[in-house]
Structure 1
Amino acid sequence: MNVLTAISALLAVWSLLRFLPAGWDGYGPLPYIIALLRFLWIPATACLAGAILFQDAPAMFIAAFVLLLIFTVNSPWYRRRNPRKPMADNGSSAHRESLKGESSRSTNQKSEKEQRKEAKSGGSCPVGTANGRFEPASAGTDAANASRNPSHETNHPQRRETGDADIMVMTLNCQYGHADASSIIRAVRQHDVTVLALQELSGKLVNELELLGLSRILPYHQFGLIRDTDNGGFNGLWSAQPPQDSYPDATDIKAASVPCMTLDGMDFYSAHTKSPMRGCRQWSQGITALGRLCPQSPAVVPFTGTNTDANHETTHVEQVAATHSTGQRMNTVIIMGDLNSCLDHPSFRTLLTHASLMDAGNDETHGRVASFPSWLRWPRLELDHILFSGGINAPDTFSLPIDGSDHRALLSRLRME
């Protein structure tokens, strides 16, 4: 076997790692090796050219196979072929239109320069929570009051009369809380964001967002619990509409807790699974465990309600399972966040398939919506995702830079079917 054939064979084995069973990608360097699969066309093309030049038939055949495989699994058709079970209408489609209507913004805002100056002088920021709800340090400011009293008349966005059932959502990894608060708020305003999911939050960043007026735009929020397993910070959700229910910790994964908001028949989650460098096994298990949030997933074990602990408080996942086991109508599921994985990872594909989820980035017909790293134009990976269950499609998904973060923000316009 000559050098070209050996290299081509190695590339072929590398490309086939994509088809490992779920969980097998949670060992050693495999998450990183698999993440680079889409770039194998570069060495494979070089091998094919060399094989043609030196008339090496075995190397030519193997390199051509690798190229065909890589281009097939990266084609828009293949990326969108993930099967999804249709979900029954939960009877709330008429109410969903009001979610978009709530996103009209108040124009009574301070100048950005004044807001930035006020945020910088905000002093120290605590990190305490009560049921996942952050208590800002500067309680006397309008923004802080809006956080704790969202029904205050001056903080309500004006409802817009519209028949448009689209809603705009946004997710961002804030890189240990270093993301620029004014840049986040600018994106929320410019793109009329209705639901915002942030990961790797810090107390300082939350205070800056409050002082700059995020609560006047999105007055309702739910934070995840702060705990030792946080990977870079805690997660949070903001909404223009008051939630019917919310949880600081919707499911148990060994990573930052996953807050949840229920808005007109839709369960929104902000999730951040561990990166492989924090533990490959926990990385894989955290991704697949998100399937428990979806009632149609095999990961959901029917809840019988027979817990013998008198002090046991029913978890969100147990309520999902209980509703599913009784045949009741289920909420639409929307999971947003940095999942540290892409479609080439078997664990991530298993989450999509078993939980009948679609990826907003895969709904795009012009290629992936890559978000990391923000400072490179190419190559980038799509580590950030907006996943959703039946009854929704994503006609418009894109990313944009946010100052101070190594991730780009991912935005998607979700349309109710």
Structure 2
Amino acid sequence: MTITSTPAEIRPARRVTRTVLLALLVLPGLLWAIIRLFGWERGPLVQLFAFTPYAAGWVLIPLLIAVIARKWLIAAAALLAAALLAVCVLPRALPDADRGPSAGLPLTVMTINVYIGHADPAAIVKLVRDHDVSVLALQEFTPEEMWGLSAAGLDRLLPYHSLADVWGTTGSGLYSRLPVSATGSTLSKGGNRQAYATVQPPGATALAVDSAHPLAPYATSALGDWRADLADEPATNSTGTPHILIGDFNSTLDHAPVRNLIEQGYRDAADTVGKGLIATWGPYGDKHLPPVTLDHVLVDKRIGVRDVAVHGVAGTDHRAVIAELTVPTA
């Protein structure tokens, strides 16, 4: 019987090869974590970084392999990547100790991208009715969607409005159960209309509400306008009217421009109550992309957040986000 074995000079080469391959497996996660931590995403990375929560889960695989293989230096690098991404992602799944004021007037708001007017009007009206929604924001809002919502009875539930309905993807609208003033819409640099209004709850301070819809970073050529649209969203003013931005921001909390916007005096409602990882968009058409969180309710820090829920709506690839808020009394 002949016994064969790997020649001694080959075994070290194989060990080196395995070590290099494992290091190459860890490196993307480490680079991802560093870029995310410092907000350095640029070019094609902007779209990719919407999937950061998935990357945070993936880095655990090379970490486990490195530990099993006893490659301690590589395991340390993988652990660093996992820790950095956990710091960036996990807080969204944990309720904040500070949810804002708990005393005041309850107010429920809802946002839904109606996908070029294809969303089921009856389903939207049912959500408004079932959840006692006082303010509704719509994006990709078309005349056809407006007619459908009216026929489904939305005008009876929310009789006040500020509408910028446009054929295609650029329209938006606001409906309110409460009286509104200072209505209108702005045209963003990226070409989307953003309806706005001042909403007056009874016995409470007036609220400035915008149906936010920055341009999507669909290509590297659009990134300048995407960043400009997010930078141009209204900032809060501690002595002025409290602001609420609700809509499809075409950004997740892993994009630096939307984090910069929030740092100007807002809180993300879903993040605040530990539901910030619930996906609101995707998959899109025949592109089997993992779902991500593009739709947000951003509220002035003078406004409290009680709860957030996400609901699917037939006819659109976005989901409705419903936030229960507490607004300061007059």
- Is this a same-fold pair by TM over 0.5? yes
Contact 2:93 2:277 in 1 (8 A): no
Aligned-pair CA distance for 1:53: 2.1
> Pick from 241, 266, 271: which aligns with 2:207?
266
Aligned-pair CA distance for 1:390: 2.6
Mapping of residues 181-200 of structure 1, within 5 Å: 181-200=121-140
Aligned-pair CA distance for 1:406: 0.3
The equivalent of 2:267 in structure 1 is 358
> Pick from 330, 340, 354: which aligns with 2:240?
330
Aligned-pair CA distance for 1:295: 3.4
State the one-letter code of the partner of 2:272: D
The equivalent of 1:223 in structure 2 is 163
Contact 1:231 1:274 in 2 (8 A): no
- Residues 412, 177 of structure 1: alpha-carbon distance in 2 compared, 3 angstrom cutoff: same
Residues 163-172 or 330-339, more deviating:
163-172
The separation in 2 between residues aligned to 1:225 and 1:294, in whole angstroms, is 26
The separation in 1 between residues aligned to 2:106 and 2:197, in whole angstroms, is 18
- Is 1:207 matched with 2:147? yes
Mapping of residues 12-411 of structure 1, within 5 Å: 12-21=30-39, 25=41, 27-76=42-91, 165-224=105-164, 226=166, 232-249=169-186, 252-264=188-200, 265-277=206-218, 279-290=222-233, 292-295=234-237, 329-353=239-263, 355-365=264-274, 367-373=276-282, 379-411=290-322
Aligned-pair CA distance for 1:12: 0.4
Aligned-pair CA distance for 1:415: 0.9
Contact 1:294 1:333 in 2 (8 A): yes
RMSD: 2.9
Per-residue CA deviations over 1:224-279 (Å, capped at 9, x if unaligned) read: 374xxx97130000001121321222x74323121111123100110111111151
Contact 1:255 1:274 in 2 (8 A): yes
Contact 1:369 1:398 in 2 (8 A): no
User: What SS does the aligned partner of 1:258 have?
Assistant: strand
Aligned-pair CA distance for 1:79: 7.8
The separation in 2 between residues aligned to 1:413 and 1:63, in whole angstroms, is 39
Aligned-pair CA distance for 1:365: 2.7
Higher strand fraction (1 or 2): 2
Per-residue CA deviations over 1:391-410 (Å, capped at 9, x if unaligned) read: 21111101001110101100
Could you list the runs of 5+ residues in structure 2 that have no partner in the other structure?
Answer: 1-18, 201-205
Aligned-pair CA distance for 1:19: 3.1
Per-residue CA deviations over 1:169-213 (Å, capped at 9, x if unaligned) read: 000000111101111111111111100000001111111111222
User: What SS does the aligned partner of 1:403 have?
Assistant: coil
State the one-letter code of the partner of 1:364: V
User: What SS does the aligned partner of 1:277 have?
Assistant: coil
User: What SS does the aligned partner of 1:254 have?
Assistant: coil
The separation in 2 between residues aligned to 1:2 and 1:383, in whole angstroms, is 37
Aligned-pair CA distance for 1:30: 1.5
User: What SS does the aligned partner of 1:176 have?
Assistant: coil
- Residues 211, 43 of structure 1: alpha-carbon distance in 2 compared, 3 angstrom cutoff: closer
Aligned-pair CA distance for 1:284: 1.6
The separation in 1 between residues aligned to 2:283 and 2:311, in whole angstroms, is 9
Aligned-pair CA distance for 1:47: 0.7
The separation in 2 between residues aligned to 1:398 and 1:373, in whole angstroms, is 17
The separation in 1 between residues aligned to 2:115 and 2:139, in whole angstroms, is 8
Give the length in aligned residue pairs.
300
- Residues 190, 80 of structure 1: alpha-carbon distance in 2 compared, 3 angstrom cutoff: closer
The separation in 1 between residues aligned to 2:115 and 2:173, in whole angstroms, is 14
Per-residue CA deviations over 1:283-316 (Å, capped at 9, x if unaligned) read: 12211211x34336xxxxxxxxxxxxxxxxxxxx
Aligned-pair CA distance for 1:83: 11
Aligned-pair CA distance for 1:10: 2.2
Could you list the runs of 5+ residues in structure 1 that have no partner in the other structure?
Answer: 88-162, 297-328
The equivalent of 2:5 in structure 1 is none
The separation in 1 between residues aligned to 2:131 and 2:177, in whole angstroms, is 13
User: What SS does the aligned partner of 1:73 have?
Assistant: helix
The separation in 2 between residues aligned to 1:175 and 1:82, in whole angstroms, is 35
Aligned-pair CA distance for 1:166: 0.5
Aligned-pair CA distance for 1:77: 7.4
State the one-letter code of the partner of 1:342: T
TM-score by length of 1: 0.66
TM-score by length of 2: 0.82
The separation in 2 between residues aligned to 1:164 and 1:294, in whole angstroms, is 19
